[in-house]
Amino acid sequence: MYKTFADVKAALDKGRSVEDILKKYFNNIKERKDLNAFLEVFEESAQDKAREVDEKIKQGTAGKLAGMVIGIKDNICYKDHKVSASSKILEGFESIYSATVVERLLEEDAVIIGRLNSDEFAMGSSNENSAFGPVRNALNEDFVPGGSSGGSASAVAANLCTVALGSDTGGSIRQPASFTGTLGFKPTYGRVSRHGLIAYASSFDQIGPIANDIQDVAVVMEVIAGGDEFDSTASQREVPSLSPKPLKSKLRIAYLKETLDSDGIDPEIKARTEQLVNCLRADGHELIPVSFDYLDYLVPTYYVLSTAEASSNLARFDGVHYGYRSDEAQGVEETYIKSRTEGFGKEVKRRIMAGTFVLSQGYYDAYYTKAQKVRRKIQNRTNEILAQNDVILLPTTPTTAFELDAVTDPISMYLQDIFTVQANLSGNPAISLPLGQHSNGMPYGLQLIGKQFDEESLIDASAFLMDFC
């Protein structure tokens, strides 16, 4: 089993080839087919790349990810490979270019092993909204892996790849990480190029890694982060070395009282988080309880703005430009209507309608403009807290993973995102680390939110906490 990149490198040092290592991952994928984590394994291109990397290792010219085997969420484009956003509407569609993140991973000699199932267009919190069936949690197949990057998280938890890329618009990297006992990292908005990521809500979307080790999070972030001429929102700021370093001084950590006192939080998660707060205090760190008055506004604000952006972004899927076209349609208008009606799933349609509504004349100011103002308040308060503290600590999720089909009401599903959407609304980097195991047998995560563009300190604090908790 290769759980981490360190395991892979140890095997390479002993003389194993990347091709061999890749084979082992192929076998694992076959054995865990029932997880439904992979929509497609890129056998040929992965094998070709593995051979190329083996050659480069012999010559001493291999890049820094040589031997790392990476799965990509099915909303990240890879030239000449299919990509569908787990939707029927992109059936048969092949990308003609690679996402910037994919280019950068390949340049450093990672092997891209395949594309991973997710919620359709990254909309969901359980990975039950895929047109290609739900993903199962690698730790217990009766349970969901979380969403929307559920395939990415389950694949990493089951060692079907060394690291996976996910995307996080409202928690889709961190919540599945929490549900599967893995680490999930959402970069600062603008840290990683979105070029080649199928857009859901463009002012929120970020690509990031899910891994079993903080070192792997760090090295992948180092490779994928940084400015990009193809994405004007990707910051040109320099990317420092992110390799975790020991803390130089004790931490000053803010924790949000309202999150621990909120109604829906599982008592064991609350108790364990409080215990951690106390242990950190006893270890000499400053733990500051702060109030965050906007907790109840986070989910509504997120869903007004993200559906608005989605309704606009998804307008391009019209039965003409890409993928699926209804057989029965005649004429342009009918082609649009029938292709979209047949091609999109229920949740995606619900969001397009909600987004169209909040943007409509007469309601725009009441919903969209208002939500933008609330977003600004949330951003200001988050940055105010971080001006005085190194990081914010809070649970990643109010509960552990639930059973498949257990949450059917959309509002209850949206409330799953209560602790994760803050960092997307504010744009700050955030990570979920495995914190504990519930008496129901499932894991749950601890979340840290860092200062804007300070991935470095966030990773250092995370490495410290990984050893501490």
Which residues contact ligand GLN by CB under 6 A? 122-125, 148, 167-172, 200, 306, 417
Closest distance of CB 148 from ligand GLN, Å: 4
Closest distance of CB 168 from ligand GLN, Å: 5
Closest to ligand GLN by CB, 103 vs 168, is 168
Closest to ligand GLN by CB, 125 vs 182, is 125
On the 0-12 / 13-18 / 19+ scale of CB atoms within 10 A, 332 is: exposed
Secondary structure (DSSP) of 84-99: -TT-GGGTT-B-SS--
DSSP annotation of 369 reads I
Closest to ligand GLN by CB, 200 vs 453, is 200
Catalytic residue, from 95, 148, 306, 311: name it. 148
Cβ neighbors of 398 (< 8 A, separation 6 or more) are 262, 264, 265, 266, 269, 415, 416, 418, 419
Tell me the CB-side half-sphere exposure of residue 355, using CA atoms within 13 A: 21
Closest distance of CB 424 from ligand GLN, Å: 7
Closest distance of CB 304 from ligand GLN, Å: 12
Catalytic residue, from 172, 178, 311, 432: name it. 172
| Residues 345, 85 contacting (CB under 8 angstroms) | no
Catalytic residue, from 73, 84, 125, 339: name it. 73
Closest distance of CB 469 from ligand GLN, Å: 25
Q: For residues 150 and 119, what is the distance between their CA atoms, to the nearest angstrom?
A: 8
Q: Residue 448, SS3?
A: strand
| Residues 52, 95 contacting (CB under 8 angstroms) | no
Q: In the annotation, is 270 catalytic?
A: no
Q: In the annotation, is 193 catalytic?
A: no
Q: Which residue is nearest to ligand GLN (CB)?
A: 172
Closest to ligand GLN by CB, 11 vs 415, is 415
Q: For residues 1 and 366, what is the distance between their CA atoms, to the nearest angstrom?
A: 54
Closest to ligand GLN by CB, 233 vs 291, is 233
Closest to ligand GLN by CB, 187 vs 244, is 187
Q: For residues 167 and 200, what is the distance between their CA atoms, to the nearest angstrom?
A: 10
Closest distance of CB 67 from ligand GLN, Å: 29
Tell me the CB-side half-sphere exposure of residue 234, using CA atoms within 13 A: 20
Q: In the annotation, is 154 catalytic?
A: no
Cβ neighbors of 337 (< 8 A, separation 6 or more) are 329
On the 0-12 / 13-18 / 19+ scale of CB atoms within 10 A, 394 is: buried
Reference 385, options 252, 200, 269, 189; nearest CA is 252
Q: For residues 461 and 250, what is the distance between their CA atoms, to the nearest angstrom?
A: 10
Reference 136, options 162, 167, 165, 157; nearest CA is 157
Closest to ligand GLN by CB, 147 vs 343, is 147
On the 0-12 / 13-18 / 19+ scale of CB atoms within 10 A, 217 is: buried
Closest distance of CB 451 from ligand GLN, Å: 21
List, by residue number, the catalytic residues: 73, 148, 172
